[in-house]
Amino acid sequence: MKTFVAGVATTKFGELWSASPRGLARLAVFGALKDADIDSKDVQALFVGNMLSGMLGGQEHLGAFFAEELGLSVPAFKIEGACASGGLAIHNAVNSLMSGQYETVVVLGIEKMTDHKPEDVATALMGAGSEEERLAGATFPGLYAILARVHMREFGTTEEDMAAVAVKNHYHATLNPNAQFHTAVTVDQVMRSSKVADPLKLLDCSPISDGAAAVVLSTKRTKRSVEVIASVVATDTLGLAQRKSLTELSATQKASEKAYTLAGMDAKDIDVAEVHDCFTIAEILATEDLGFFPKGKAASAIQRGSATIGKAKRVVVNPSGGLKGCGHPVGATGVKQIAELVEQLRGNAGARQVKKARVGLAHNVGGSGATAVVHILEI
């Protein structure tokens, strides 16, 4: 059974003080239904990707919550997998279609984070870490700083190399009307920004964000449909201390290897990718683990500007601005990645359009790599 993305929509990402979760959900879902040119009565199930609604908002029952708000009297499910919640929601929706259970479903990814104190958000996010890490007082900037230090030691990666990731993704974000940030930054500005967890600085880190994204998935092909040719999930240990290597995320490697096999292609066939750059080092790790660059070579390639829109000989990475420039409302990110790829493959991405994009890859991570979701789409 083939699965297609029929419609997509993304709200503005950012500090959306006047927006409610209900309002964001309506904008995203009804926007996606309009894009798919179908009526809500044709929707047979709703999948909601969200991480923090229970810890921050006191509401865990999001399937029924949003089904009621959207007027959908259908089976509805909340899917949680830390920052990979959106990607996992897509994966579960794809599987439900492939099983023959449904013909048309909606996936909503949503998060409202800025209404809460930063320290409360940081504590809630660490729910995705191991017990030992929480007891030690670790945060995700600290955990990714450890990954950065090891990568720097083993491959000579520099702080300037990581800063170049932020420069690229902020530039891409200036071309995306829905992005949180529309200001370009320089390597010097990244280097001079305040340290969060050495060597990571403020401008190495994705922001706290609000936002929603939705996709309509169907077994029916239309003229504007984009096919989902692979949907794979892999896992690793929650904590860093239990891993064999800190210079790779094995869940990403496993998920991408299987996805390439299912799609009948490999990394060189990908034209455009949305990868999980929660921190600048995360994009470096991802592009190596996905096979776009040999291990230890991604940082210097990004520094040389080999991922510039429209000029890359290699895959173009994070044309939306990624998590770093577009924003990271955690439950929405994995769904936004799919929406961005669909716009790219349709040729509707405007100023950020990747030329001749035919195959796209989405990479969504939960925690410090405990969960990885990889989707491959083809027009």
What digits encode the pLDDT tens for the residues 140-188? 999 999 999 999 999 999 999 999 999 999 999 999 999 999 999 999 9
For residue 290, being part of any structural domain is answered with no
For residue 293, being part of any structural domain is answered with no
> CB under 8 Å to 278, separation ≥6 — which residues?
83, 140, 144, 205, 206, 323, 324, 328, 365
For residue 13, being part of any structural domain is answered with yes
From 151, 172, 328, 363, the catalytic residue: 328
From 83, 205, 278, 326, the catalytic residue: 83
For residue 55, being part of any structural domain is answered with yes
83 is catalytic: yes
For residue 136, being part of any structural domain is answered with no
Name the helix (H) or strand (E) containing 106.
strand 104-112
Range of the structural domain that residue 98 is part of: 3-117+208-218
> CB under 8 Å to 7, separation ≥6 — which residues?
32, 33, 34, 35, 36, 37, 38, 215, 216
Helix, strand and coil content of the chain, in percent to the nearest 5, comes to 45, 20, 35
> CB under 8 Å to 112, separation ≥6 — which residues?
16, 19, 20, 21, 24, 56, 57, 210, 329
For residue 84, being part of any structural domain is answered with yes
Q: What is the number of structural domains in the chain?
A: 1
Nearest Cα residue to 61 out of 70, 72, 71, 50: 50
Those residues of the chain that have pLDDT short of 50 are 306-312
For residue 32, being part of any structural domain is answered with yes
Q: What is the pLDDT of residue 186?
A: 97
CATH of the domain at 110: 3.40.47.10
For residue 14, being part of any structural domain is answered with yes
Q: What is the pLDDT of residue 356?
A: 94
Q: What is the pLDDT of residue 314?
A: 77
Q: What is the pLDDT of residue 303?
A: 66
Q: What is the pLDDT of residue 305?
A: 55
328 is catalytic: yes
Query: Residue 213 half-sphere exposure, CB side, CA atoms within 13 Å?
Result: 32
